[in-house]
Amino acid sequence: MKQLILFFLFAITINNTMEAQENKNRGAALNAHQQTLAAIAALTAIGDQETLRPALSKGLDAGLAINEIKEALVQLYAYCGFPRSLNAIGTFKSVLDERVSRGIRDQEGKSIIVDNRVADKYEQGRKVLEELTKTVQQKPAPGIGEFAPRADSFLKEHLFADIFVSDVLNYRQREFITISALAAMPEVEPQLKAHILMGKNTGITDAQLSELTNVIEKAVGRTQANILRKAIGEPEIPVIQSDMMVRIAAIEIVPEYLEQYKAILKDQSSVSLKIEPGVISIFPMYQQDDPTILKLVEIYANKEAYDLHIKSEHFQKYKTTTLKMVKSLELIEMGAISPEVMPLIFEKLK
């Protein structure tokens, strides 16, 4: 009897633990699959192949199947165009080839359906769109559908029929990919808002959308992340903060190392801007009457962002590699005369 009581107590404890975990997961933010898939979609949308390459590897390492990533990249042609979709597919192929050469065997995943023989593809796509929007879809679609019927047909018959018919990705995953891509692209707020509503209809949670803003900020930048924050009703995070750091770095280079130094600096500044949200500007220039004298305009969101920057692996590599190339270095801390004008600069850069 004692053993039976202990068994029931153990079973109840396990059940409660599982229920608590399920409740936590139900409202949880993004898992590793979703985070990497969001980054892949965002980087594909903006055409950043250099940063996309490690993001693809990270997605595979997180357990994304090859065919899941393929389907995401194919679907994205409908949102960011064939050139960027095809470039991303080419990058993905090269990543897979490199991983195979290192003995890594990634899972293929479900087979991709390529045969979609139905009597009326427009009707098939229209029903899919009704399921996503939870509203009746007229034929043709009012407005643009009436003005450009072929665009309406392509949307229904190809995107929401031929592409969405594959079950390699479910509707929630497909909408999540679309939202991530649109959040990374400027000037598409109406489409972003429409797909956020569709995404919620498929089960994407507010917590996941909130966490997605951080993924977009890291992959693309704070300006685009703020567009997503605004679309989901969250406060925007100022690009310029009260403890923003602005300074000019004056560097004189040993002439024989000039070209080598410029190549390293170009790479380091580019990587910093792409992967560090807190690095707002590293803008190198040379003095026209003496190319060995360089000036860098550096802007960091705050002191913490600067501290993270100088501790980063890429900065430390730059620092140690170029030590013998630098003849002199002066760091000049600057203060803005008109801080209120600074946001206008970033508005023009959008």
Q: How confident is the model at residue 67 (pLDDT cuts 50, 70, 90)?
A: very high
Q: How confident is the model at residue 18 (pLDDT cuts 50, 70, 90)?
A: very low
Question: Does an H or E element contain 245, and which?
Answer: strand 245-253
- What percent of the chain stands above pLDDT 90? 75
- In terms of phi and psi (left: phi > 0; alpha: psi -120 to 50; beta: otherwise), the region of 59 is alpha
Radius of gyration for the alpha carbons in the chain, expressed in angstroms and rounded: 25
Determine contact, residues 132/167, Cβ cutoff 8 Å: no
281's tokens? 């500007």
154's tokens? 């392509």
Q: How confident is the model at residue 15 (pLDDT cuts 50, 70, 90)?
A: very low
Can you tell me the distance from the alpha carbon of 21 to that of 297, in angstroms, rounded to the nearest whole number? Answer: 49
Q: How confident is the model at residue 347 (pLDDT cuts 50, 70, 90)?
A: low
**In the chain, where are the structural domains located?**
1-27, 32-113+166-231, 245-348
Can you tell me the distance from the alpha carbon of 29 to that of 39, in angstroms, rounded to the nearest whole number? Answer: 15
- CATH 1.20.1630.10 applies to domain 32-113+166-231: no
Alpha helix stretches (DSSP H) within the chain: 2-26, 32-46, 49-61, 66-75, 77-80, 82-101, 121-133, 144-147, 149-153, 171-184, 189-202, 206-219, 222-231, 258-275, 303-311, 313-322, 342-348
Can you tell me the distance from the alpha carbon of 58 to that of 168, in angstroms, rounded to the nearest whole number? Answer: 19
234's tokens? 């969250």
Determine contact, residues 71/168, Cβ cutoff 8 Å: yes
Q: Evaluate if residue 318 carries a pLDDT over 50.
A: yes
Can you tell me the distance from the alpha carbon of 126 to that of 260, in angstroms, rounded to the nearest whole number? Answer: 57
Beta bridge partners of 245: 300
The topology (CATH level 3) of 245-348 is Alpha-Beta Plaits (3.30.70)
Beta bridge partners of 297: 248, 283
314's tokens? 């890429």
pTM exceeds cut of 0.85 = no
Determine contact, residues 228/213, Cβ cutoff 8 Å: yes
Q: Evaluate if residue 186 carries a pLDDT over 80.
A: yes
Phi, then psi, of 106 in degrees rounded to 5:
-85, 150
283's tokens? 């803008």
Specify the pLDDT at position 198: 98
Phi, then psi, of 207 in degrees rounded to 5:
-65, -40
Strands of 245-253's sheet in order across: 279-287, 290-300, 245-253, 326-334
Q: How confident is the model at residue 20 (pLDDT cuts 50, 70, 90)?
A: very low
Per-residue pLDDT reduced to its tens digit, 42-59: 999 999 998 999 999 999
